[in-house]
Amino acid sequence: MSLLDLSRWQFAITVMFHMTFPAITVGLSIFLSVVYGLYWRTGRAVYLQMFRFWRRIFAVGFAIGVVAGAVITFQMGLNWGVYGAKTGPIIGPIIGMEVVTAFFVEAGFIGVLLYGDGRVRRGTMFVSTVMVSVGTVLSSTWIIAANSWMQTPAGFKVVHGQFEPTDWMRVIFNPSFIWRWPHMLAAVLISASFFVAGISAWYLVKGRAKGFARRSMSIALGIAALLMPVQLYLGDSVAGHELPRQLSKLEAIEGNWDNGDTGFVLFSVSDQQAARNIAELDIPCLGSYIAKDLTCKTAMPGLKLTPAAERPDMAATFWGFRVMFLAAVLMFGTAFAATVLRMRNRLWTARRFHRFVLWTTPVGILAILGGWVTAEAGRQPWIVFGQLRTSAAVSRLAPGEVLFSVIGFSVLYLIMLVAYVVYIVRTMRIGPERDDPGRQPPPGNLPDTGAAKDGVPRELPVPLGSRKVAAR
């Protein structure tokens, strides 16, 4: 494996691990704002219970997302130093804006969101929660602007090999950003919805905390039902607006080497060297239908149109897209079924549906990861499409150094992922019952070490070192 391959694997591992967490927490932070707002307005205990329970899941996921995200910023210099030096004048300021308008906003208010419950006024609590979600949304905005510029660079000139901005409006609102941004935003909202719905479904299957579970699932599946059709439209628009500028990506997504296929390749095993598919399963005419031609005459372009040295890896691009697309179809179907059940007033009695929804918990996250694989693998061999090759952008490090970091990050991330899943399962088992404000014992007689008393797991009574801000 070459230095380039190692650095690419390292980036793929770190960025996919990172993305798993925003896929949960961006939507969850908005969900938390909504339920706390409902609690503030209605005063109903179930909303506070929802807020407290989902906050536990959010807190650790947010922390992992933050530390894993920090890694990526530095990787741009560590492993991709040439990229860092050449694109710094354009990508650097965009990420800088992300830091000051998003990271610091999140960091400033996350403390109150996590530890302020009962210490600060409800209004302060609500505003802090909203600010955190504003931060997460702004963060995804800037990061999509930066990545979209790498897909469809605009508003720049190249001076001595370095990219210089000539028009910031065109840099930020580059051609693919306009569509990829709402597409990504809808994606994180949907993935969080399925995450929330899945965990809620577990309580319905178990017959526990029904009021809490029904309300959580109702909101989550409601949002999914509203957003899924929008998302299918947005996804189609991204394809329509970005792919004409990245034909090589489109060809790899479609999975054909030669022109002329009017079908849709559902499954294929491709041989990149020989430029052919060893095996494939083709649905006739579907490709043409997707391209909005019902006469079955519109054919898909093949990857051989692109010179061999500029072809992306077909398998990664093809399968990334299939994972995203099939997951989207599954989610659309689930949201549709939920709406039908709801209209028939059977949503809370359909036991088999609850069991099914439980299994869809990670589907949204998988769809997002698949989408990113399509976007990034499909852009290859370019790091800035058509301008800078990935092979020219990598730092000239000793392979041993990179191997050390690849192994280190992989091991650490695996441990963190397992720890988070274990934490979620534990939190689910303990359940939202302890978060019911009506059932909480008074804080005075609780041990401060947080140890279990009477076998009931519990948390610290009050956040240490906090002061009643409301009193000031």
Name the residue type at position 329: V
Quote the least distance from Cβ 177 to another protein, whole Å: 17
Q: Does 395 bind another protein (CB under 8 A)?
A: yes
Question: Among residues 52, 324, 405, 432, which is the contact residue for another protein, using CB under 8 A?
Answer: 405
Alpha-carbon dihedral 181, 185, 188, 194, rounded to 10 degrees: -130
**Residue ranges in 110-139 that form contacts with another protein under rule CB under 8 A:** 110-112, 114-116, 120
Cβ proximity of 278 and 269 under 8 Å: yes
**Residue ranges in 59-98 that form contacts with another protein under rule CB under 8 A:** 59-60, 62-64, 66-68, 70-71, 73-74, 76-79, 81-93, 95-97
Count of alpha carbons within 13 Å of 184, Cβ hemisphere only? Answer: 24
Quote the least distance from Cβ 420 to another protein, whole Å: 8
Q: Whose Cβ is closer to another protein: residue 86's or residue 322's?
A: 86
Q: Does 404 bind another protein (CB under 8 A)?
A: yes
**Residue ranges in 316-375 that form contacts with another protein under rule CB under 8 A:** none
Q: Whose Cβ is closer to another protein: residue 110's or residue 150's?
A: 110
∠143-243-293 over CA atoms, to 5°? 135
- Residue 103 is given by DSSP the state I
Q: Does 182 bind another protein (CB under 8 A)?
A: no
- Strand ranges in 242-378 using DSSP code E only, listed in sequence order: 264-271, 276-283
Strand 382-384, strand 388-389: pairing: antiparallel
Quote the least distance from Cβ 456 to another protein, whole Å: 13
Cβ proximity of 226 and 257 under 8 Å: no
Q: Does 185 bind another protein (CB under 8 A)?
A: no
* Radius of gyration (C-alpha) of the chain in whole angstroms: 24
d(CA 344, CA 62): 37
Quote the least distance from Cβ 195 to another protein, whole Å: 17
Which residues are within 8 A (CB) of 106 and not within 5 positions of it... i.e. 6 or more apart? 62, 66, 131, 132, 135, 136, 139
The closest alpha carbon to 90, from 174, 12, 8, belongs to 174
Q: Whose Cβ is closer to another protein: residue 116's or residue 175's?
A: 116
The closest alpha carbon to 330, from 358, 283, 291, 367, belongs to 367
With contacts defined by CB under 8 A, name the span among 156-164, 334-342, 357-365, 377-385 that binds another protein: 156-164
Quote the least distance from Cβ 367 to another protein, whole Å: 25
Cβ proximity of 257 and 241 under 8 Å: no
d(CA 336, CA 331): 8
Q: How many residues bind another protein (CB under 8 A)?
A: 88
Count of alpha carbons within 13 Å of 460, Cβ hemisphere only? Answer: 13
Q: Does 464 bind another protein (CB under 8 A)?
A: yes
Question: Among residues 1, 43, 100, 276, which is the contact residue for another protein, using CB under 8 A?
Answer: 100
Q: Does 13 bind another protein (CB under 8 A)?
A: no
∠435-437-442 over CA atoms, to 5°? 100
With contacts defined by CB under 8 A, name the span among 43-51, 269-277, 405-413, 434-442 that binds another protein: 405-413
- The stretches of 99-209 forming alpha helices (DSSP H) are 104-115, 122-151, 168-172, 177-206
Quote the least distance from Cβ 235 to another protein, whole Å: 31
With contacts defined by CB under 8 A, name the span among 24-32, 40-48, 99-107, 336-344 that binds another protein: 99-107
**Residue ranges in 198-237 that form contacts with another protein under rule CB under 8 A:** none
With contacts defined by CB under 8 A, name the span among 107-115, 283-291, 307-315, 352-360 that binds another protein: 107-115
Q: Does 448 bind another protein (CB under 8 A)?
A: yes
Question: Among residues 304, 397, 431, 433, which is the contact residue for another protein, using CB under 8 A?
Answer: 397
The closest alpha carbon to 51, from 20, 66, 71, 30, belongs to 30
Q: Whose Cβ is closer to another protein: residue 333's or residue 447's?
A: 447
**Residue ranges in 425-444 that form contacts with another protein under rule CB under 8 A:** 426-427
Structure token pair of residue 70? 């920090």
Quote the least distance from Cβ 67 to another protein, whole Å: 4
Quote the least distance from Cβ 74 to another protein, whole Å: 6
Q: Does 56 bind another protein (CB under 8 A)?
A: yes
Q: Whose Cβ is closer to another protein: residue 233's or residue 404's?
A: 404
Q: Does 378 bind another protein (CB under 8 A)?
A: no
Question: Among residues 291, 330, 416, 428, which is the contact residue for another protein, using CB under 8 A?
Answer: 416
**Residue ranges in 282-311 that form contacts with another protein under rule CB under 8 A:** none
Quote the least distance from Cβ 246 to another protein, whole Å: 25
Query: If you count DSSP H runs as helices and E runs as strands, how many of each does the chain have, helices first?
Result: 16, 6
Which residues are within 8 A (CB) of 83 and not within 5 positions of it... i.e. 6 or more apart? 76, 383, 388, 393, 394
Question: Among residues 105, 196, 366, 369, which is the contact residue for another protein, using CB under 8 A?
Answer: 105
**Residue ranges in 247-276 that form contacts with another protein under rule CB under 8 A:** none
